[in-house]
Structure 1
Amino acid sequence: MSAEQPARYVVRIGVRSYEMDVNGHVNHAVYHQYAEHARMEHLRAAGLSQHALGDHGLTVVLLSTTVHFRAELRHGDELEIDSEMAFTDRKPFTMRHRIVRVADGDGAPAKDVAAEAECTMGVLDTTARRLVADPHGRLAAAAAAPALLGPGPS
């Protein structure tokens, strides 16, 4: 991983039957949940579980999210959801996710981008109830595996 490239983290999940809508494909709100799952697993892998963040008086908050839907997902599809973090010199930072179908419900290989999500995040000081400056630095100081956060602001 070079200093210019964000750290990329990937989780794999299967589409469950209860995530379907009346049209027989994944409900739009579930795509947000898939992105949330990838975000939380990315942070956990870096050593930033809710408990670990709390030990440092911090939590990560979602400020806004946008999902662009590209393809339908159906019950049984296998997905890979990636997560990348990008920091600037501002308090908010960005996490981007791609939701990719890697196998259909019958197990046939696929490589379809089903959705792309972009989330604006912040690191909240739980005592002051304010976003912290230098979120990358604060997260890196608390992380067991700070390399998974990617580079700080350039």
Structure 2
Amino acid sequence: MNKVPHRQLFEVRDYECDLQGVVNNAVYQHYLEHSRHEFLKTLGLDFAELARRRINLVVVRAELDYRRPLVSGDSFVVLTQMERISKLRFAFRQQIVREGDGVVMLDGLIIGTAINERNRPFLPSELELSLG
């Protein structure tokens, strides 16, 4: 697993909040996904380019532990690390941390694999190298 997590900074926008005034639970998945894509770019892997080559990275399981709610205007960082968990699967360990006070708002474990053009799971060589 990477020693230093990738950091992606965000700010909550008004329209991401629900009637209760907090970020809607589904929006957190968007934050996490964007951060994973940006993290992959730091490894030289472009999600869109992989898809054009018919290598599709897919989520097979998502575990999200909502600790505290974000509200409009909150600045926060998504921390992302990746590790191999089996021959064909990898995991992203992600955390959402509010800027300023460092409070953990969410812990996430996202498990994925790659699907080839025949719809079969595999790990492309580019990803194998990143996982070590």
The question of a shared fold, defined as TM-score above 0.5 by the shorter chain, is answered with yes
- Gaps in structure 1 of 5+ consecutive residues: 103-108
**Displacement, 1:88?**
3.2
Q: Distance in 2 between matches of 1:111 and 1:122?
A: 31
Letter in 2 for 1:44: K
Matches within 5 A, 1:16-95: 16-54=13-51, 56-95=53-92
Instruction: Give the ranges of 4+ consecutive aligned residues of structure 1 lying more than 3 Å apart after TM superposition.
Output: 54-57
Q: Distance in 2 between matches of 1:43 and 1:24?
A: 32
**Displacement, 1:56?**
4.6
User: 2:121 maps to which residue?
Assistant: 131
Q: How many residues align?
A: 131
Q: Distance in 2 between matches of 1:39 and 1:50?
A: 9
- Gaps in structure 2 of 5+ consecutive residues: none
Shift in alpha-carbon separation, 1:62–1:89, aligned structure 2, 3 A: closer
User: With structure 1 as the length reference, what TM-score do the two structures score?
Assistant: 0.76
User: 1:105 maps to which residue?
Assistant: none
User: With structure 2 as the length reference, what TM-score do the two structures score?
Assistant: 0.88
RMSD between aligned alpha carbons? Answer: 1.9
Query: Secondary structure of the equivalent of 2:70?
Result: coil
- State the structure with more CA Rg: 1
